Structure formats: structure tokens, C-alpha cells
Amino acid sequence: MKSTIDKISQISPDQSVVCIIGNDIVPERLILSKSEKEYAQRQLTNKEEFVFINSYNKCIYIVRLKEGQNHYKVREELRRSSYNLRKLIKRNNHTELVITSENVYNEAVLDFAEGLLLSFYSFGKYKTKEEEGVKQNFPAMLLLHGELADSEIKWLVELTNAVYFTRDLINEPVNHLNATMLAGEIKKIGDSAGFKVEVLTKGKIEALKMGGLLAVNKGSVDPPVFCILEWKPSNCLNKNPIVLVGKGIVYDTGGLNIKTGDFMAGMNGDMAGAATVTGVLHTIASTGIPLHVIGLVPSTDNRPGGNAYAQGDIITMFNKLTVEIGNTDAEGRLILADAISYASKYSPELIIDIATLTGSAAMTFGNQAIAVMTNAERKYIDLLDECGKDVYERIAELPFWEEYGELLKSDVADLKNIGGRAAGAIIAGKFLEKFAEFPLIHMDIAGTEMLKKDDYYRLKNGPASGLRLLSTFLKRIAADYSEKK
Ligand code: BES
Ligand code: ZN
Ligand code: ZN
């Protein structure tokens, strides 16, 4: 469940209101008693982050915009303020809540609403009793007031819808979501958003000889799937599609190189890349972005088992390269590599893969940056960086020098799936690059995707890292295309 969003042009005197302000002055148009106004003014003069007034028939929340050198940082502070207010707003049990602004930038109302919606999310479907915190007592309606284009509101609605179901998919445990069930969910989402979904099942994957996906699947009792998502509107502006590839490991035990200690915890979220690709396709399809985009999702669990693939195995990948298995826990790159070489059939303008790929990325950047490696033109990475700041899902680039690729040499096969302990995130990226015949951006979300605690509205467990970033990136690419036309 999620609040519904609507636009209003007139605020009535008995409606509860969040008012975002850009200075320390209580807006005249807020209907307050003299003493309430004086109290609010005192709080603002004391530089409080927000002021709360519980009038007899309504609540007023005044949120002071933080000052900052960078506009993107100011926007993020506002999203964080909404996270900080979420509990208070819930406690007041509003059925509807107006969000308005005074003396601030145009999209402030949207940014606040976005942060608030993302903060209200919870994964409570397996709770049988209603408890504090699980109660869905957020406002049923968020009413946005101000000069807002319908298209901007539509974007907010669809993007936050996508974040909700993407988080749901990531948070599902594997006993409720195996690869086939994931494909079923993707199909449902495609049907409702209007993009095409083709699901290749095991027989077809065998016929295509996707050796990476099949090897990882050998220890599983469930079959693998390979999903092809496609959004191709009649007005699309690009000749060659952009292909998104998402890692869909529905559970990563490590396989025979089993994860020890607590390292297996959270590995139901090892399909976050797959869920994110689905969320991005939903957003661009339901808002009608005029771009041809394809999503590829290889999916299986990675388990030890009687027939599990083993260290020392030599496998033949979809593109005929042979790979020596140095570690069965480096499984993500094997299923992604097959998908990346499969992408060649579309002659893509660009391939972007998104994956919870290495502990190394998490160790390097913690939860604050998505590790990015690329051999694509700078214009793409510059745009991705800009979008990353705007939505505050920042990227940090790692070098992608050819010397790192040399560490993947094998004595017995074309390459090996591991390359020593150092520079693990880069080596994993280099492995993928060997399967890419078209420009590649590789995004490793291992650090940003599995949060132990809330990072504001990026809620713990699976926050759906990279979804707002990639959706915004594609929207901007479409805008650049139409400008050039
Ligand atoms: N799914 C893991 C990566 C991961 C680790 C994601 C921690 C989120 C949090 C991946 O399949 C993996 O196990 N990678 C290994 C690779 C190694 C064996 C070369 C790793 O990073 O340890
Ligand atoms: Zn692994
Ligand atoms: Zn994994």
C-alpha cells in the first residue's frame, strides 16, 4: 500500500499542511492563531529544522529548506527532512496531507513528497498481527500544491510505484521467490506497464548454450530463467536500443565455495539488479519515455548440491569463450556474461549492467556510492554522474585499465572467473567487459543495495539502489535526443 498522489489548486482552512519555506518567515497564508504564529516564528528564528503546530482541527508542519552550496545537496536535505518527519506524520493519522511551498525552488514539493513516500514503505506482508511500525497509518492522499506539470507528477507516481515493488521483490525471501516466480512477477509488471516480456525457460537456455547460467544453476533443484523485457514505443528516438542487464541470483549461498559465518545473510537480495531493471522498464514504459530499451534478466539460485558446479570446472559460455571456475561464489559474472554477449544481437548503443557483484565494491565505497566502470564514451558517464547527484544515488568511477584484465588469465581455459584478492570489483568488471561487443557501463551495487540500517529514506534491506538513477538517466537521454531532432 502506498499513498495516492494528486494535485490541488486551493488549500482549504481545515486541511493539514506541510509548508516548505526558503527563509525564516512564517508564511502569511498559513491560517494560524496569533499565539501559534508567534510560536512558529520563534522556532524558525531559533533555526529549528521544522516547526510542528497541532491546531484543533488540523496539523501544520513548516519545513525550513537547508542552505547549501550545491542545489542537488539542498534537494537531498529536503528528502531527508521528510524522512525525519515520517514518524510524526504517521502518528497524526492524517487521511490526507497537503504539501505546499513558499519562496523555494520549483520542484521542492515533489522532492519532499518523494522522500516521504519512500520513507513510508514497509515490508509487512508476512506479519500476521498489526504492530506499531507495521500499521499503514500514513496519509492515504498526498495533495501537491503549486505550479506542477502533470508529467512531473506522473513521473513521481510511477517512479515511486517502481521503488515500492522493486523493494518488495528484493526483500522477498527465496522460499517465496525462486527464479521462475521472479519471471512471473516480471511478466505481471510488464503487462500492467505495457512493456513486452519473453521468458526463456531451461530448454531454450540449453538450446542457446548459455553455459554460465546453466553452470550456476547445476546445484539448484529449481530451473533457471532468462527474461527479455522490451519497451519500444512507436515514437522512439534511438535507432539502436539501450540494453540493461540485471543480476538475478535469487539466493547466493556461494555454491560449493559456500559462504561462511554471517556472509550468507541478505543473499535473497542478490537479485536486486534484476528487480531494478524491471523497475526501470516499468517507469519508462508507464511514463511513455520515447526510447527503445531492452532489459535482460538471467536468473537462478546459487547452491551446493549433488550436481553443483565445482572449482576447476571448465565451462563454455554463450559466446563460446571457455571459463575455468576458480570460485563458485563468483557466480554473478557468469550469468551476466551470457546476458551481455546475448545483447550483441540487438547492436545496442550502450549496455548497462547492474549487479550486487562484489564485496570489494562494498568495502571500497561503503553504502554511499555505486561503483561504476566503463569503456563507453565520456558523455554517458558524465550524464550518469549528473543524474546521480540529482537523485542522490551517486556514482564513483573505478579505473578500468587493461592490466586488471590480465589477472583473469587461466592456464587451461580462455579465462578464469576470479583474479586474486586485490582490486576485486575491477577484475569482476573486466571479466564482464570480455563478453561485451558494444560499449559497456558496469554498475556494482553490492555496497548500496544491502543496508543494515536506514540511510534516511533509503530504507534498510533493499532500498532499490540505482532505480531512480537509471530511470532519470534514460529520461535525460530521451530529452537530449529530442533536443537534437
Ligand atoms: N553476491 C556476492 C557479492 C556481494 C557481497 C553482494 C556482499 C552483497 C554483499 C557475489 O556473488 C560474491 O559472492 N562475490 C565474491 C567474489 C569473489 C569470490 C571473487 C566476493 O565479492 O567475495
Ligand atoms: Zn557469490
Ligand atoms: Zn552473488
Within 10 angstroms of residue 399's Cβ, the number of other Cβ atoms is 10
Cell numbers at 9, concatenated: 489548486
In this predicted structure, what is the pLDDT of residue 394?
98
Which residues crowd ion ligand 3, with CB under 5 Å? 249, 252, 270, 332
Query: 366 burial class (0-12, 13-18, 19+ CB within 10 angstroms)?
Result: exposed
**Model pLDDT for residues 441-476, shown as the tens digit of each residue:** 999 999 999 899 999 999 999 999 999 999 999 999
Coil vs helix vs strand at 58:
coil
Q: Which atom of ligand 1 is nearest the CA belonging to 257?
A: 18
476 catalytic? Reply is no
Stretches in the chain below the pLDDT threshold 70: 131-136
329 Cα–ligand 3 center, Å = 7
Q: Are 246 and 467 in contact (CB under 8 A)?
A: no
| Per annotation, catalytic residue among 333, 394, 416, 434 | 333
7-49 pLDDT, tens digit per residue, is 999 999 999 999 999 999 999 999 999 999 999 999 999 999 8
pLDDT at 136: 67
Return the DSSP state at 122: -
Give the CA distances from residue 1 to residues 119, 121, 125, 291, 409, in Å, rounded to whole numbers and listed in that order.
13, 8, 10, 30, 50
Distance 330 CA to ligand 2 centre (A): 5
Residue 125 annotated as catalytic: no
| Spatial distance between the Cα atoms of 171 and 160, rounded to a whole number of angstroms | 16
- Determine which residue's CA is closest to atom 13 belonging to ligand 1: 329
Measured from the Cβ of residue 46, the count of other Cβ atoms closer than 10 Å reads 9
Find the ligand nearest to 417 CA. Answer: 1
Listing DSSP states for 170-199 in one string gives HHS-TTT--HHHHHHHHHHHHHHHT-EEEE
Look at residue 131 in the predicted model and tell me its pLDDT: 66
Scored b (16 or more CB within 10 A) or e, 305-343 reads: eeebbeeebebbbbbebebbbbebbbbbbbbbbbbbbbb
Residue nearest to atom 14 of ligand 1 (CA): 358
Determine how β-strand 370-374 pairs with β-strand 440-444. antiparallel
CA angle 459, 118, 297 (to 5 degrees): 75
Residues with CB under 6 A from ligand 1: 252, 270, 327, 329-332, 356-360, 362, 418, 424, 446, 450
CB 395 within 8 A of CB 375: no
Residues, Cβ < 5 Å to ion ligand 2: 252, 329, 331
Specify the pLDDT at position 103. Answer: 94
Domains of the chain: 4-148 (3.40.220.10), 155-484 (3.40.630.10)
Residue with cell 571457455: 322
Instruction: Write the single-letter amino acid at 150.
Output: D
C-alpha cell at position 205: 537456455
Q: What is the dihedral of CA 425, 430, 436, 442, to 10 degrees?
A: 20
Residue 262: nearest ligand to its CA? Answer: 1
Predicted pLDDT at 44: 95
Q: Is pTM beyond 0.75 here?
A: yes
